[in-house]
Structure 1
Amino acid sequence: MNEFRPIRGDVAPARLEPEALARGFSDIHPPLKVHEALVESDRCYFCYDAPCMQACPTSIDIPLFIREIQAGNPIGAAKTILSANILGGMCARVCPTETLCEEVCVRETAEGKPVKIGLLQRFATDRLIERGDHPFERAASTGKTVAVVGAGPAGLSCAHRLAMLGHDVTLFDARPKAGGLNEYGIAAYKATNGFAQAEVDFVLSIGGITVETGKALGRDIHLEDLRADYDAVFLGLGLSGVNALGADGEASGGSHDAVAWIADLRQTRDLSDLPVGRRVVVVGGGMTAVDAAVQAKALGAEEVTLVYRRGREAMNASRYEQEIAQTRGVHIRCNLTPKRILAENGHVSGIELERTRSRDGRLELTGETVTIEADQVFKAIGQTFLPDGMTREGADIAMEKGRIRVDAERRTSLGGVWAGGDCIADGSDLTVVAVEDGKIAATSIHEALSARPGLLARIGEAATDAAQTASAWVR
């Protein structure tokens, strides 16, 4: 499904030999061996009221699972992890632990060297998933049905918890595969050897979950129908829109959306078939920008430059991610904003940028321009939520900041409809947060479906009234 075939410019596949490609896309963090895990687990202080546990969005009992590893019980450790975060295997690979659990580790505070919590989590969960048996049993059937729209981290988390509680779940997704961001959006060197799909299979093995792929909300399925056909609905839609640069020449050949390019790369069976420029520029300062830049370099681009409109300290990508980019040959240039994409014969030849500066917290243009030669330009300046297919009788779900408004239990303003993940107003674009959203929503749905008849409708009416009151107050 290689969408990005060369048209003009110095863009071509197979820039590197197979061995070099394999090195560039090998596991960025090789898993711990048994002895290494035991040594690392011995460094934990097993703190009471542990700050690492408080920093984890899913509240994994980190001291407990590390103690279980130390005691030679990695399967027990995995069960502790997965009881709080069913996608603990992927989160061990992609969570920014350096700004979450490991940042507040007492060892980090005292020595500047935290316990390797992420690697220990991977050590435990990999062993359980590789063993092939599911650690949780499904409760007796409740006879209730739930539609989950979106098979990304939030949807998978919600579906698994609901199935475990005995509800029958139908999981819909617009793409050909389940997994969402984990399958289509994570850098290939962070989730190697088909781990994303292995984890999906593991989650689904609880039973009680039917998956229907290729079903898009608003096209193949409709919210009003789902509300009529199911006892509850959860929306884990993610962010499908991509922000435009707003620069002249953006439609030139060789100018790509980084999100779509990464998805294409993740689904490419032979990386040597994927074209890449000799000189690549990535615009953005977040994780997607770093992932695109590093992978372009790994495909054989000779020069990769990541440009960001503000200073280094304002980048959404953590300092650790920035260091990964730099150690892999990516040049990071800050205080530059795109002005014009240059093209020759309809294909990218460079990008003109304007220098910026910060004054009193506000970004200002200086009038000074810089030109960088490029064969490819990738835009990675954020995504937006597209609320397609969420209407019923002309009434939209209440929105906030361009995303779905929910309460603390992830209920929307429509009765019987919950939402979580990146599509909600407080979404943070982190896998681990989406997992927690799905878990919270599943608990709320279960309580609602277990309540006496009529309560679910009243909950929806109350949520609608609250949303209307809030909207009137804002006006």
Structure 2
Amino acid sequence: MSSDTFTPGIMPGRLDPAAYSEQFSDLHPRLDPHEALVAADRCYFCHDAPCITACPTEIDIPLFIRQIATGTPDAAAKTILSQNIMGGMCARVCPTEQLCEEACVREAAEGKPVLIGQLQRYATDHLQEQGVHPFERAAATGKRVAVVGAGPAGLSCAHRLAMLGHDVVVFDARAKAGGLNEYGIATYKTVDGYAQSEVDWLLQIGGITIETGRALGREETLESLRGVFDAVFLGMGLGGVNALQAEGSDKEGVSDAVDFIAELRQAADVAQVPVGRDVVVIGGGMTAIDAAVQAKLLGALNVTLVYRRGRDRMNASVFEQDLAASKGVRIITHAVPRAVIGNGAVREIEFDYVGADMVPTGQTLRLAADQVFRAIGQTLQGDGLPALEGRKIAVTGAGRTSVEGVWAGGDCASGGDDLTVTAVAEGRDAAMDIHAVFSGAVA
């Protein structure tokens, strides 16, 4: 939404100017060296560590924590980055409470896991702030790979391919590389331009060219890429947003949560991002939580998140749900939007309460709203794609599609769980499979 064309009730600057820096400060400030040593000392260094199995990128967590404990954080960072080249961002945004930390033996025994995510950030930040890139590029192979999408999956794939000696061109529709990390994550989770600094650091491997403003189906086609490159990896994510199936959903003030989050992430001054007085967010995933919390941090008086099922079915973790509640977001479950009410612009939104079978109970709920955000899932966009499975590109093995020489991974591919860390793993694994094909190790 342009800052000079506001819908009535939606305005910037709702808070005192000094409040914004505190509101959007780092959610989990980095551990200092002493805190890191104390946290590392709690690890049991399990032989068959369940935390490794719980990590989609299979980082050797006990090893990197031991390296921190022995005063070698840069070695710890290399252990992390050898499995997850975007370990710095994942340390900030991974739902560790559902992955490695939930599996931690300390969590099972005491209800207080080792701070794996924060220790990972401590190590990767320590290395990256020195401008050091711990990996070297192998001798050039002469092979060229096109990567579509400069998000976590695409960048992970590109880095591993470049490290193995292949030349990579990454095409992305947006003006900046980074994908979800740059445009789709709450500002307070990745402050001080970290997403771009991580991209810049990753590109130090060499052999990777980024071409922005180039989208599949617009400037590029799969057929044309296959004609020029030896292999293609599709990691463009999901560009479309599901429609809100409610009467009046086209009224002013109703918009996509992903656009709101992107506007905040790209804003030179978050105080200039407009927000309503009464904000309603529809959805139950991380995008919904990020939009709701940030609306509250911008100064919205009332923010309500409405989800069609129970809290136990929300894709957002319990930690994220609790974070929203702690910021003053009201969460209502078992309700689906029925109608958006208003004369041109939204003034209220009505919901039907539903049972577990999604059948309306006959009870309704009406909320005041001058701003409504849709966060009800995204859809794959593009023509001439490989065969689909449901609404995503069908893949087998390490991301092979129905089209020879074309791999896919991340949110646009079937089988994943729409997490940054999973996208990184899928991009890495596809790169290794592409390399195996190039080298003749597999057909």
2:33 equivalent to 1:38 = no
Let me know the Cα RMSD of the aligned residues: 1.1
Give the aligned residue type for 1:104: A
Report how many residues are paired: 443
CA deviation vs aligned residue, 1:300-343 (integer Å, no higher than 9, x gap): 10110111111111111111000000001101111111000111
Q: Secondary structure at the match of 2:224?
A: helix
- Which of 373, 376, 380 is the equivalent residue of 1:385? 380
Residue aligning to 2:61: 62
Corresponding residue for 1:53?
52
Residue in 2 that maps onto 1:462: none
Name 1:353's counterpart in structure 2: 351
CA deviation profile, 1:139-170 (whole Å, cap 9, x unmatched): 00001100001000000000000000000000
Report if aligned partners of 1:308, 1:336 keep a CA contact under 8 Å in 2. yes
Matched residue, 1:464: none
Please tell me whether the aligned partners of residues 7 and 253 of structure 1 are also in contact (alpha carbons under 8 angstroms).
no
Q: Is the 8 A contact 2:409 2:427 kept in 1?
A: yes
SS in 2 for 1:189: helix
TM normalised by structure 1 equals 0.92
> Which residue matches 2:360?
365
Is residue 400 from structure 1 mapped to residue 389 from structure 2 by the alignment?
yes
The C-alpha deviation readout for 1:101-140, integer Å capped at 9, x for no partner, is 0001000000000000000000000011101021000000
- Contact kept, 8 Å, 1:279 with 1:303, in 2: the verdict is yes
Question: What does 1:39-188 correspond to in 2, within 5 Å?
Answer: 39-188=38-187
DSSP-derived class of the 1:205 partner: helix
For 2:364 and 2:140, the matched residues in 1 are separated by 65
Distance 1:174 1:19 in 2: 35
Q: CA deviation at 1:357?
A: 1.4
Per the alignment, in what secondary structure is the counterpart of residue 305 of structure 1? strand
Matched-pair contact (CA < 8 Å) for 2:6–2:274: no
1:429 aligns to what SS in structure 2? Answer: coil
Distance, in Å, in 2 between the alignment partners of 1:342 and 1:6 is 21
Asked whether the 8 Å contact 2:233–2:408 carries over to 1, the reply is yes
- Cα distance in 1 between the residues matched to 2:302 and 2:377: 23
Q: Residues 259-408 of structure 1 correspond to what in structure 2 (within 5 A)? A: 259-344=258-343, 346-358=344-356, 362-386=357-381, 388-389=382-383, 391=384, 397-408=386-397
Deviates more, 1:347-356 or 1:443-452: 443-452
- The answer as to whether partners of 1:5 and 1:275 remain within 8 angstroms in 2 is no
Partner of residue 25, structure 1: 24
CA distance in 1, matches of 2:299, 2:188: 15
**1:230 aligned onto 2:225:** no
Verify: 1:434 aligned to 2:423, yes or no: yes
Structure-2 separation of matches of 1:171 and 1:218: 15
Per the TM alignment, residue 96 of structure 1 is displaced from its structure 2 partner at its CA by: 0.3
Secondary structure, aligned partner of 2:271: helix
**1:308–1:337 Cα contact (<8 Å) kept:** yes
Shift of 1:18: 2.2
TM-score by length of 2: 0.98
Kept in 2, the 8 Å contact 1:136–1:164? The answer is: yes
CA–CA distance in structure 2, aligned partners of residues 5 and 425 of structure 1 = 41
CA distance in 2, matches of 1:268, 1:171: 25
Contact 2:285 2:316 (8 Å CA) reproduced: yes
Contiguous gaps of at least 5 residues in structure 2: none
Provide the C-alpha distance between the structure 2 equivalents of 1:318 and 1:117, rounded to a whole number of angstroms: 17
| Residue 423 (str. 1) matches residue 418 (str. 2) | no
In percent, how many aligned pairs have the same letter? 62
Cα offset, 1:7, TM superposition: 3.9
Residue pair 1:3, 1:264 contacting (<8 A) in 2 also: no
Which AA in structure 1 matches 2:158? A
| CA 165–220 in structure 1, closer or farther in 2 if over 3 Å, else same | same
Query: 1:447 aligns to what?
Result: 436
Q: Aligned equivalents of 2:4 and 2:182: distance in 1?
A: 22
Shift in Å, 1:273 = 1.1
Aligned amino acid, residue 375 of structure 1: D
Moved over 2 A (4+): 2-9
Q: Deviations over 1:411-444 (max 9, x none)?
A: 1111111110011111211000000000110001
Deviations 1:79-102 (A, max 9, x none): 000000000000000000000000
Q: Secondary structure at the match of 1:147?
A: strand
1: distance between equivalents of 2:391 and 2:352?
29
Q: Secondary structure at the match of 1:266?
A: helix
* 3-state SS in 2 of match to 1:85: coil
